[in-house]
Structure 1
């Protein structure tokens, strides 16, 4: 007769208190487990993650190396129509309102209060610093030439701050005279070449009359190769209140600054718009436009133009 097997019963683990259970979870002296795993188990899992993350980092580095082989740090792969920027430059203005009111385009100050207009003049000082010290961009400045006197060739054109006259830092940009200067710049688009309005017979009907007369009076063929600039009040009341305007040092962006090819030390040309006698205590809506055959104006999309408001108390 076969020997009867002894019956075995499951013995529940002893009941432990919360602290005792936690202590055993941290270190179980009977099974030599730390946080529920033995030393061999911890070694295997750590080895797995070391290999996994090393492989992941290696893959990422390899992809970055391949990626950088396909791009040029100075020449964009997608240009003009093929790029997100497109081939229609926008127009920007300085000084900008405080970052706390980033959506605002209002330049508002009190001319008889230096502490009040100081913000605007300091913002212009910061923006124009690189123009006053061009060598800080291109080493010793050896890559910069005066393009009014010589062809730039493989160099870049010099923007002379001494030409700004009333719109200079020494003159506080005329803010204290209730005659503020606003600086305009054309956004850079790699390889974009303007098609100039240098023929007085092809001027568009929407171009302001004073600009048409200026172009007709310009006899120097080289000077006619300019991306022209105009600033006007947007509404009849704004036109009445804006007062006389001067463009310093010239009425647009000279053609020898184009095309932009990301040469070392390149600085965008500037036009200082000097509002000589804007009516004080009145909000004036102003729109400035850049003029070339291949600059299209779209107020909603801010293409080829810029809008801002001016109020001098």
Structure 2
């Protein structure tokens, strides 16, 4: 079958489907006046829509404070029970909690040292934040901070847990740093009465509170203990030292009010003579009356493994 081509019978047929029609003076089916009117309509329409969105956002942000969370306590996602964290953490596997240390291998222990320094850098240069310098205060139990002040964390005095001594990683006596997660407005309820301590509190901490802390005011701390999870782990873990020697987070760091430049208090835990060649399960726990503890879901505590080669 042969196809036949039909020539246009008129100029109307020739320009049909084209973008410009000279007979009607239209562009894409509309005259310039029509295009101007519809363009003006959409300009006004989307301009008013953008203005409405901007007004709604402005009203919304008036209800928010940049430093005070809208949802707090039980209404927030994190609730009222602070968790405990540790550093350094394995950087090649976020799900791993194994600290595998080889004191005779410089590459290995330098890796852990640099991992830890990435976290501690702001503690060694206190007050350095993105917006500039924030003055820090040397706080104490007798001179707690006032609102807006930021307390220094004196990590530089925690020998031997210092970068100059490689945090003792090269001696297979590692220092692990602990911190309590921030919850806005949370105030600890202290175990500050030596005659009213929980039965499951380790005897070492009970004796420390009763005999080593003589001033009642200095007992206002969130206490910390690190022990082996199982009887065998307790034997393999060996001697544990805490820096600062108060063995806890001083109460004058609380409540956390999101002050600019705030640094969470830290405690360094040194394991002096852990058994080598064995994976040791370690549990560190925070002690306060309003910190709920559960080994099952790790509430109020943190777990990690220590392997010394």
Q: State TM-score, norm by structure 2.
A: 0.85
Point out where structure 2 has 5 or more consecutive residues left out of the alignment: 9-14
- Distance in 2, Cα, partners of 1:15 & 1:86: 79
Work out the number of aligned pairs and report it.
294
1:273-292 matched pairs, under 5 angstroms: 273-292=269-288
User: Which residue pairs with 1:306 in the alignment?
Assistant: 302
- Distance in 1, Cα, partners of 2:43 & 2:306: 61
User: Which residue pairs with 1:183 in the alignment?
Assistant: 177
User: Which residue pairs with 2:59 in the alignment?
Assistant: 66
1:112 positional shift: 1.2
Q: 1:165 aligns to what SS in structure 2? A: coil
User: Which residue pairs with 2:209 in the alignment?
Assistant: 215
- Distance in 2, Cα, partners of 1:228 & 1:163: 20
Q: 2:195 aligns to what SS in structure 1? A: helix
Say whether 1:157 aligns with 2:151: yes
- Distance in 1, Cα, partners of 2:297 & 2:6: 75
Query: Is the 2:100–2:306 contact (alpha carbons within 8 Å) kept by the matching residues of 1?
Result: yes
- Distance in 2, Cα, partners of 1:147 & 1:159: 11
The CA RMSD over aligned residues, in Å, is: 2.6
Cα deviation 1:171-200 (Å, max 9, x = unaligned): 111111111111000111111111111112
- Distance in 1, Cα, partners of 2:226 & 2:172: 18
* Larger deviation, residues 136-145 vs 199-208: 136-145
Point out where structure 1 has 5 or more consecutive residues left out of the alignment: 1-12, 17-22
Say whether 1:90 aligns with 2:86: no
* Larger deviation, residues 217-226 vs 47-56: 47-56
1:125-274 matched pairs, under 5 angstroms: 125-137=117-129, 139-147=132-140, 150-154=143-147, 155-217=149-211, 218-250=213-245, 251-274=247-270
1:299 positional shift: 2.7
Q: 1:84 aligns to what SS in structure 2? A: coil
Change (3 A) 1:172 1:27: same
Say whether 1:117 aligns with 2:109: yes
Cα deviation 1:233-264 (Å, max 9, x = unaligned): 11222112111110111300001111111223
1:105 pairs, out of 97, 105, 115, with 97
Cα deviation 1:199-222 (Å, max 9, x = unaligned): 122211111111111111121112
Query: Is the 1:147–1:158 contact (alpha carbons within 8 Å) kept by the matching residues of 2?
Result: no
- Distance in 1, Cα, partners of 2:48 & 2:96: 49
Q: 1:241 aligns to what SS in structure 2? A: helix
Query: Is the 2:225–2:286 contact (alpha carbons within 8 Å) kept by the matching residues of 1?
Result: yes
Cα deviation 1:146-193 (Å, max 9, x = unaligned): 325633233222211222111111111111111111100011111111
1:142 positional shift: 3.0
Change (3 A) 1:26 1:312: farther
1:47 positional shift: 4.4
Query: Is the 2:101–2:172 contact (alpha carbons within 8 Å) kept by the matching residues of 1?
Result: no
Query: Is the 1:111–1:175 contact (alpha carbons within 8 Å) kept by the matching residues of 2?
Result: yes
Change (3 A) 1:15 1:122: farther
1:117 positional shift: 2.2
Q: State TM-score, norm by structure 1.
A: 0.84
In terms of fraction of residues, the more helix-rich structure is 1
Q: 2:114 aligns to what SS in structure 1? A: helix
